[in-house]
A and B are shown apart, each in its own frame.
Chain A
Amino acid sequence: MGGPMKIRASIKDGVTEVKVLMQHEMETGLRKDDAGKLVPAWIITEVKALHKGRTILEGQFGTAVSKNPYLVFHFKGAAKGEKVTVIWVDNRGDTRSDEAEIS
């Protein structure tokens, strides 16, 4: 299982801003190691954010998303104290899910 994410969610004027920082190498598959061998691609392919079981964002990543991916998005219809869940899956089938309370 991957390392924990840092998720911050705060509401202002009815709009919740979610900031997510994920721990992931995001290997492009184009880099060679010290021995000159190609390092296989290892990337988060999908991200999903949920609020009360409802999908609030779906993301798909390719090899060009930076190491330790960062994401900010805005959604409506939440209240302070409620939770936002973020889940990712990578191309090795590893996954991670974390949640944060809306402040």
Chain B
Amino acid sequence: MNTDLIRRKALKTGSSLALFGVLGAIGLIRPGLAHAEWKKAAFEAKTMEEALATLGVAAAESSAAIHLSVPEIAENGAVVPVTVTGSLARMEQISILVDKNPNMLAAHFVFPEGTEGFVTTRVKMSQTATVIALVKADGKFYRVSKEVKVTAGGCGG
């Protein structure tokens, strides 16, 4: 079997099943523990509307209680640091989206009780675009966005 086929098969069967299986196999989780499947449709969404719809977002109000930290200028679009945090009660999920990327949704995080509504990661940006943090807190969606300028890389340095 070629790797492409393996890949497609893996994507098709949903790698979340794979992770679930692995976790069970190495005895890290008890069977029957709730586990979310990889959001294939959301990650493959090509438009913001599509991405939001597949994430189950009907409406997201902007909120000053969410803080999105991104650089104003990224020297390299391959690595754009993103931190999302907030002071809302019971932050359950944080999704990070980039409006001009081929696929809008970059990453999605779920926080169980006891984990703070906070995440830092790094995303790729194909060009200057808006980074959107989508937060689900106590069942409601909120969003905040910021523009990041991506400069063309120079030579040297």
Report which A residues bind B (CB closer than 8 A). 15, 28, 30, 40-42, 45-46, 48, 50, 53-67, 69-77, 85, 87-93, 95, 97
**Given contacts A64-B106, A66-B122, are A58 and B36 in contact (CB under 8 A)?**
yes
Main secondary structure of the interface of A (DSSP, over half): strand
Q: How many residues of B contact A (CB 8 A)?
A: 49
Contacts of B15 in A (CB 8 A): 45-46, 89-91, 93
Known: A53-B29, A73-B109. 14 other contacts (CB 8 A): A45-B19, A56-B115, A58-B109, A61-B106, A61-B107, A63-B102, A63-B103, A71-B120, A74-B115, A74-B118, A87-B22, A89-B16, A95-B22, A97-B22
Report which B residues bind A (CB closer than 8 A). 3-4, 6-7, 10-11, 15-16, 18-19, 22-23, 26, 28-30, 33, 35-36, 38-39, 43, 78-80, 83, 98, 101-103, 105-112, 114-116, 118-125
- Asked if A70 contacts B106 (CB within 8 A), the reply is no
Main secondary structure of the interface of B (DSSP, over half): mixed
